[in-house]
Copies of this chain bind each other. A is one copy, B any other.
Amino acid sequence: MIQKPYLLFLGDAPDPLAAKVAQGIRDWRPDNAVGQFRLPGCKADLGLPDMDLAEARAAGAKTLVIGVANRGGVISQSWKKVLVGALEEGFDLASGLHNLLRDEPDLVAVAEATGRSLHDVRVPDVDYPIANGKKRTGKRCLAVGTDCSVGKMYTALAMDREMKARSLKSSFRATGQTGILITGSGVPLDAVIADFMAGAVEWLTPDNDPDHWDHIEGQGSLFHVSYSGVTMALIHGGQPDAMILCHEPTRPHMRGLPDYALPSLEDLRDTALHLARVANPACRVVGISVNTANMGEDEAPAYLAEVEGRMGLPAVDPFRYGAGRLVDALLAS
């Protein structure tokens, strides 16, 4: 568990997209971010107060989160001075970069000397069990996609926010680096050893109150040949009561696989549901989340209406129009 709140380190981000992890924290857990730290030349701005390390400590920040990705995922030397200074100032460090904090001898030495923690959320720090398949109390909703990167994390976060706004019991369960940094905990599922994937998902979504919903961040797609095993483990380890189908309608082919077409929403529904019912015979598909970012003001509602009529399920873009109807459908299921 990463100590909150955070100071968000944007470094020398060459553009706003490079700071998308920090933006995710800013968007989804604004209470977790007391300020931003930018180096000269930084082209990202979250609209948070710019703070130096001492100011952020005074404002209560406990962890400096590297909220920026640079080319190659490495920890640049220009960042090192700030990171070392942060440890000396009393901050823990958290990072989702490929280049691990723990592989930097200077950071390790200072962290040990100061008694601070280095959180590399890209690699697991738990010995997960093998899945036992036992039925757990509480409810779980899993976002599944026609492809990778179609908005599964966003959908789960939006539904969690909507339920919390209605004072309902809800948790977002992160399964990727960005989600873990946003919420401070989770399982970096793509880095878990094969035999323990489903067990890690069981561990992440334990017994809970009967009226509590876990919103599980999806990964990959059953139809994406590079990552479908990870998706499969989420479906069986998560034993979802409900699934949301996630889709991006303008994509010409599966992400990174030019020879592979996207499946239809009907195929995703039938395939995912059949497999999910192995673990939970009561599982249902309750709604469709469409990423309409590449569709115009007229085009998006028309497409959503067409999908809704065809599938007989609410079809919404939660980013554009809110997650209310998806939550309504979840609660009605």
Which residues from B are CB-within-8-Å of A131? Answer: 225-226
List residues 214-254 of chain A with CB under 8 A from any CB of chain B: 222-223, 225-233, 235-237, 239
CB atoms of A278 and B225 under 8 A apart? yes
Complex CA–CA separation, A100 to B109 (angstroms): 30
**Interface 9-residue window, one of A113-121, A189-197, A205-213:** A189-197
A225 and B236: CB pair below 8 A? yes
Partner of A260, one of B133, B193, B237, B275: B133
Q: Complex formed: what's the CA distance from A263 to B199 in Å?
A: 21
Q: Which residues of B contact A232 (CB under 8 A)?
A: 222, 228-229, 231-232
Q: Which of the residues B197, B256, B260, B279 comes within 8 Å of A229, measured between beta carbons?
A: B197
Indicate whether A274 sits within 8 Å of B275 (C-beta atoms), given known contacts A191-B194, A197-B229.
Answer: no
Assess whether A102 is interfacial by the CB under 8 Å rule: no
Please tell me if A259 contacts chain B, counting CB pairs below 8 Å: yes
Residue of B nearest to A271 (CB): B274
Chain B residues with CB under 8 A of A233: 194, 228-229
The distance from the CB of A129 to the nearest CB of chain B, in whole angstroms, is 10
Cβ contact within 8 Å between B195 and A193:
no
Please give, as numbers and ranges, the residues of chain B lying within 8 Å of A192 by CB-CB distance: 193-194
A134 at the interface (CB under 8 A from B): yes
- Residue of A190, A227, A279 most packed against chain B (CB within 10 A): A227
The residues of B that contact A257 with a CB separation of less than 8 Å are 132-133
Choose one: B130, B225, B230, B235; the contact of A195 (CB below 8 Å).
B230
* Candidate in A198, A228, A279 with the most chain B CB atoms within 10 angstroms: A228
- Is A136 located at the chain interface by the 8 A CB criterion? no
Whether a CB of chain B sits under 8 angstroms from the CB of A135 is yes
> Which chain B positions have C-beta within 8 A of A278?
223, 225, 228, 260, 263
Contact between B194 and A189, CB atoms less than 8 A apart: yes
- The CA-CA distance from A239 to B194 in the complex, in Å, is 19
**Contact between A135 and B194 (Cβ–Cβ < 8 Å)?**
no
A12-27 CB mask vs B (1 if < 8 Å, else 0) is 0000000000000000
User: Which B residues touch A198, using CB under 8 A?
Assistant: 225-229
Minimal beta-carbon separation of A301 from chain B (angstroms): 31
Contacts of A259 in B (CB 8 A): 133-135
A269 CB to nearest B CB, Å = 13
Residue in chain B with minimal CB distance to A234 = B229
Give every chain B residue within 8 A of A271 (Cβ-Cβ). 274-275
Which residues in B have their C-beta under 8 angstroms from that of A135? 259
Residues B230 and A194 in contact, CB atoms below 8 Å apart: yes
A260-287, CB < 8 A from B: 260, 263, 271, 274-275, 278-279
Q: What 0/1 pattern do residues 276 to 302 of A give for CB contact below 8 A with B?
A: 001100000000000000000000000
Residue of B with least CB distance to A219: B194
Given contacts A229-B233, A259-B135, contact A195 B190 (CB under 8 A): yes
